[in-house]
Amino acid sequence: MDEEVVTILSNYIRGRFVEHAGSEWMDVVEPATGVVFAKLPLSDSQDVGAAVEAAREAQPGWASLEIKERADWLDAIADSLEASFEEIAELESRDTGKPISLARNVDANRSVANFRFFAGLIREQESEAFEMDDATNYVVNKSVGVGALITPWNLPLYLLSWKVAPAIGMGNTVVCKPSELTPMTADLLMRVIDGVGLPAGVVNLVHGDGAGAGSPLVAHPEIDLISFTGGTSTGEKVAASAAPMFKKISLELGGKNSSIVFADCDMEKTVAGVVRSGFLNQGQVCLCGSRVLVESSVYDEFETKFVESVERMRIGDPSDDSTDLGALISKDHLQKVQGYVNLAIEEGGRVLTGGAPCLPSEFEGGNWMAPTVIAGLSPESRCSTEEIFGPVVTLHRFESEEEAVEIANGTRYGLAGSVWTSDIERGKRVSEAMETGMVWVNTWLHRDLRVPFGGVKDSGVGREGGKWSLGFFSEAMNICVKHD
Ligand code: NDP
């Protein structure tokens, strides 16, 4: 590729785009083609130190603003992001390999909505007071201090904005560390923040990999809170590093989510919903329903319709409006996902559809995998209990409601799930029996920003979303005033 069109990224510290301390760089690769289109600084602990110092110095001044003033800043960022809507979608699609329609409808939309939503929510916050016979207890929500915000590659700006908005809204200052695989929209957010003139040091960004930048950021003694979204094994390391310093921590980790299909469901709508839940973003969403449990009496009908529907999805050029499925994030990830399909065959599974897709030559350097459906596996097999995080769905039969719940709960994860039935009481009953943080009945990824978001078991610790985000990004203080 022509060197002239390669974008050179830099860190954003103390309100300025600055060079990193070291001399190491990393290529940013387009997943659909394998073309290098940007270079990212591989920052180290010195860069992290400078960013944390800037955030620390800015924090008292930022926290002293009225809530309304901080809400106005969030709205200004939302306005400016909205003006860059198409650029967000194009960068996100190019950087992640996801279809442009998805990047518009989900990533660009939500990034703007996150800032708008939290601006409104912090404005509406009401102060709490508890009366005693002889005293009044006031609750004051104070800022925590300096936050480390660490995000993965699947929903880059969607998740970064989900953390930055409530964090700074509650008076904290932050250092962001996006995934080194998808840095482009984090850079765009810094340009937006710079453009609106947010006070220097309130939001800082350090590019780099987990070992060089993420790990020193988490371990930095001046970091007071950590909001981490990523894999469960990385979450373990983050938790271990943060625990001895008693940092406030929120972990949104991996998932292996079940979609439970009962015989009384609306079959057409269910097939469409379960296909979407299995394959959105090439199956690279922590909430994806990658194990589908189907009541025996309708299993054969469901299997046939499901496979037909999966085979109708259009895979190819992410920049084409009609594309349903794009490329996987990296060569390593593609290899991991293919490894799981091989494992499924060793474990006795039958591949009903899948294999390498046929694409034009311009995409031959990309990371492509056709959507894959596997039947015949035991629900305890590795392929149906471990997080694959790719376009691979396993189908399983169940005979009773109890068995469905038992299979659904038979993994180390507990993030999300969906239940498909015309009996709403059963939908709610089964949902409540599931060991998971979120369940949708007759829908999937139908998000209301006010609701709690997070998982149980190995899917994480804590809740974000709505008032739960405001709670996490603040310290509730009690002041008890004795009456005369
Ligand atoms: P990783 O855990 O590999 O990385 C997440 C982030 O952590 C990246 O920015 C990464 O940097 C950084 N990191 C890596 N090592 C360390 C370390 N030792 N200390 C601090 N930071 C570190 O996840 P992926 O990026 O591969 O994302 C996929 C995972 O994210 C899946 O498991 C998915 O389920 C989960 N996820 C969970 C969600 C949820 O809300 N529960 C939502 C979306 C995804 P680098 O990229 O440089 O390694």
Task: Render pLDDT for 325-376 as a digit per residue (tens, 0 to 9).
Answer: 999 999 999 999 999 999 999 999 999 999 778 888 999 999 999 999 999 9
| pLDDT for residue 153 is more than 90 | yes
Give residue 88's pLDDT.
98
Put the strands of the sheet holding 25-29 in their side by side order.
7-8, 36-41, 25-29
Length of the chain: 484
Q: Which atom of ligand 1 is nearest to the CA of 232?
A: 32
Alpha helices in 348-423 (DSSP H): 401-408
Residue 151 · residue 45 · CB < 8 Å: no
When pLDDT is cut at 50, 70 and 90, the band that residue 2 belongs to is: very low
| pLDDT for residue 1 is more than 50 | no
Residue to probe by mutation, ligand 1, list 179, 181, 332, 468, most atoms within 8 Å of CB: 179
Alpha helices in 312-418 (DSSP H): 331-346, 401-408
Vertex 224, ends 223 and 225: CA angle to 5°?
Answer: 100
Q: pLDDT tens digits, residue range 171-180?
A: 999 999 999 9
Taking CA atoms, 124 is separated from 112, 187, 275, 332, 473, in Å, by 19, 30, 38, 45, 16
Give residue 143's pLDDT.
98
| pLDDT for residue 479 is more than 70 | yes
**d(Cα 484, Cα 482) in Å, to the nearest integer?**
7
Give residue 4's pLDDT.
52
Which residues have a catalytic role annotated?
252, 286
Q: pLDDT tens digits, residue range 45-86?
A: 999 999 999 999 999 999 999 999 999 999 999 999 999 999
Residues 446-458 have a mean pLDDT of 98
Whether the model clears a pTM of 0.95, i.e. scores above it, the answer is: yes
**d(Cα 74, Cα 70) in Å, to the nearest integer?**
6
**Which residues have CB under 6 Å of ligand 1?**
150-155, 177-181, 209-210, 214-215, 218, 229-231, 234, 237-238, 252-255, 286, 387, 389, 415, 455, 460
Q: pLDDT tens digits, residue range 107-133?
A: 999 999 999 999 999 999 998 999 999
The closest alpha carbon to 145, from 224, 219, 205, belongs to: 224
- Helices and strands of the chain, counted as H and E runs: 15, 23
Vertex 355, ends 352 and 357: CA angle to 5°?
Answer: 125
Query: Which domains are delineated in the chain?
Result: 7-253+459-480 (3.40.605.10), 258-449 (3.40.309.10)
The closest alpha carbon to 235, from 255, 220, 221, belongs to: 255
Residues 440-464 have a mean pLDDT of 97
